[in-house]
Homo-oligomer: A and B are copies of this chain.
Amino acid sequence: MNTAVFSYADLLAFTKGVFVHFGMSDEAAEIAAKNLILADLRGIDSHGIARLSGYIRLQKAGRANFKPNFQILHQTPSTATIDADLGLGLNSAHAGMLLAIEKAKQVGTGWVAIQNSNHFGIAAAHAILALEQDMIGFALTNASPLVTPTNGKERMLGTNPICVCFPSNHNQAFVLDMATSAAANGKLEIAQRMGKDLPPNWVQSSEGMASNNAHELKAGGALLPLGGHKGYGLASMVDILAGVLSGANYGPWVPPFVAFLNPLENLPGNGIGHFVGAMRIDAFRPAADFKQHMDNWIDRFKQTTPINENKPVLIPGELEALEAIERMKNGIPVHTLVIDSMLELVNETGLTMPSQL
C-alpha cells in the first residue's frame, strides 16, 4: 500500500491551518476545510486534501482570493446572483446555499447563481446543507474544459457535476452527486496507477478516435460525455446555469484549475460559476409525508431483484455514507503523492504534519 492513514480530525485541523496561514480568516478556513475534507471522508479522494496545494498555488498566482468580499449583485424573493470576488467555491457555494435556504424559508424555494468563483470541492458538500432543514438540495458547477461535445474533438466542457439530495427518516439520505462525463479524471488516475485500460467510451484521442488509454488526456485527448449526446446536453445545462446565468465564464473559457496554465484572453465572464438551490419540502406536501414515502421508495429500490444475489441494488449516496462512517472511525487513507504535497506545505508554513494512525 502506498497510502498512510490519518484521522479525520487531524486532516481537518491541518487543512484549516494551511488556509489560515495563507491569509484566510479562522471562520472561513473552518468552512473551507470542512467542505474539502468531506470529500476524503466520503471516499472521493480526488476532490479532498489532494487538491489543497492546488488551491494554494492558485492563490499565489493571484487567481484565488483568500479574503473575498462576497457581494449580492441582484436578487428577488426566490433568487440571487453573487459575485464571489475570486474566493474559493468551498466558501462561496456554502454562502450561496445558506442564502438559498433563507429564501426557501420565506417563499418556498431559493436559487443562487455564483460568478467569479473557484472550484468548490464535491457538490454534495453544499447540497446536503438543505437536508437538515427538510429541504431538497441542489448544487451544480462548471469546470475547466476536458470533455468534447458529441461529434467534436475539441475540449469544450468541464466534468460539470450535478448534485441533488432528498431527506428521508430511517434511511441514509438520497444523495446523487455525479459528473456529467462518463467518468471523472479521478477514475482515470486510478486506472493509471493500476496500469489498467479504460472501459469503452470514457475517452477519445486528440483526433476523436475511440481509445481505452488511461493516459489519453496527457496526449491531447478528451473525456467523453455520459452516454453520448445526452451527457453532452446535461453538461451543457450545467454550464449554462452555473456559467451563463451567473455571469461567470463558460464552455472553453472556464479558467483551468491548475495554476501553471493561464486562463484564455478576452474572457466572456468572471471566474468559474456555480448554481445552488433549496426547495422546502413542505412547500409541496407535509415533510413527514414526503419522508415516509422517501423511506418507502428507498426500501423498495433496495429490494429490487438483483442480477447477482451478492450485488444488491444501491441507493445513490449509500456507499459514500457508509464510507464516511468507516473512515470517521478508522481513519482516512492518503496516497503517498498527496502526503508529499502535504510535507511541502509543512515546510513552507511551519505547521506540524499530522501523525499517521
Residues of A within 8 A of B (CB): 73-81, 106-109, 111, 113, 136, 148-154, 156, 162, 164, 166, 174, 176, 178-179, 182, 207-208, 226-227, 229-234, 236-237, 239-241, 244-247, 250-252, 268-269, 279-281, 283-285, 289-290, 293-294, 296-297, 300-301, 304-308, 311-314, 316
In-complex Cβ contact of A108 among B76, B239, B250, B307 (8 A): B76
Query: In whole Å, how far is A79's beta carbon from the nearest beta carbon of chain B?
Result: 4
In-complex Cβ contact of A293 among B162, B227, B268 (8 A): B268
Q: How far is the CA of A232 from the CA of B304 in the complex (A)?
A: 13
Task: Decide: B77 and A284 in contact? CB cutoff 8 A.
Answer: no
Query: How often does this chain occur in the complex, in copies?
Result: 2
Seed contacts A78-B108, A151-B313, A162-B234; 9 additional CB < 8 Å A-B pairs: A77-B106, A78-B109, A79-B280, A150-B314, A207-B307, A208-B307, A244-B290, A244-B294, A251-B300
In-complex Cβ contact of A156 among B174, B226, B301, B308 (8 A): B301
Interface SS of chain A: helix, strand, loop or mixed? mixed
Could you jot down 12 A-B contacts, CB within 8 Å?
A76-B283, A108-B111, A150-B314, A164-B237, A178-B234, A208-B307, A226-B226, A226-B227, A244-B290, A246-B284, A250-B293, A251-B301
